[in-house]
A and B are shown apart, each in its own frame.
Chain A
Amino acid sequence: MSELPNISEIEADCLMEIFNIGVGHAAAAMSNIVNEEVRMSVPSLHFTTRSDAADELGADLSLCGISQHYQGAYATEAILMFPETASFEIVRMMVGDMIPAHELGAMEREAMCEIGNIVLNACVGTLANMFEKDLIGSLPVFRVGSSQHILNPADEEDDPILLMLRIDFSLERQQIEGYLAFILDMSALRDLREQIRIYISRLEAGIAPVGLSMP
Chain B
Amino acid sequence: MSRQILIVDDSRLSRMISRQYVLSLHSDWQIAEAATGEQAIEMAAVNPPYLILLDVNMPGMGGLEAAAVLRKSHPDTHIVLLTANVQNSVQAAAEQLGIGFLSKPIIEAQIHAMLNKLEQTP
Residue numbers of A with Cβ under 8 A of B are 9-10, 13-14, 16-17, 20-25, 27-28, 31-32, 35, 37-41, 43, 126, 130, 200, 203-204, 206-210, 212-214
- A41 to chain B: closest residue by CB: B57
Q: How large is the interface on B (under 10, 10 to 19, 20 to 34, 35 or more residues)?
A: 20 to 34
Cα A37 to Cα B62 in complex, Å, equals 15
Residue contact B105 to A213, C-beta cutoff 8 Å: yes
Closest Cβ of chain B: how far from A31's Cβ, in Å? 4
Q: Do A20 and B57 touch across chains, with their CB atoms under 8 A apart? A: yes
- The residue of chain A having its C-beta at the shortest distance from the C-beta of B107 within the complex is A213
Q: Are A203 and B57 in contact (CB under 8 A)?
A: no
Q: A209 contacts B20, CB within 8 Å?
A: yes
Which residue of B13, B16, B23, B84 contacts A24 across the interface (Cβ within 8 Å)?
B84
Instruction: State the B residues within 8 Å of A (CB).
Output: 11-14, 16-17, 20-21, 23-24, 57, 59, 83-89, 104-108
B105 touches A28 (CB 8 A): no
B20 touches A206 (CB 8 A): yes
Tell me which residues across on chain A come within 8 A of B86, comparing CB atoms.
28
Q: Is the CB of B23 within 8 A of A206?
A: yes
Given A13-B11, A20-B11, A24-B57, A212 and B85 touching (CB < 8 A)?
A: no
| In-complex Cβ contact of B84 among A21, A43, A208 (8 A) | A21
* CB-based contact B105/A14 at 8 Å: no
Tell me the bound Cα distance from A25 to B90 in angstroms: 13
Closest to A204 in B: B16
* Contact across chains for B85 and A40 when beta carbons are under 8 A apart: yes
Chain B neighbourhood of A14, CB < 8 A: 13
11 residue pairs bridging A and B, Cβ less than 8 Å apart: A14-B13, A20-B11, A24-B57, A25-B85, A28-B87, A31-B85, A39-B57, A203-B17, A204-B16, A210-B108, A213-B107
The CB with the most chain B CB atoms within 10 A, among A22, A200, A209, is that of A209
CB-nearest residue of chain A to B83: A24
Asked if B108 and A10 sit within 8 Å, CB to CB, the answer is no
* Cβ–Cβ contact A43 & B59, under 8 A: yes
In Å, the complex CA distance between A3 and B57 comes to 33
| B10 CB → nearest A CB, Å | 9
Q: Is the CB of A208 within 8 A of B104?
A: no
A212 and B85 alpha carbons, distance in the complex (Å): 15
Min CB–CB distance A96 → chain B (angstroms)? 18
Q: In the complex the two chains form, what is the Cα distance from A213 to B105 in whole Å?
A: 5
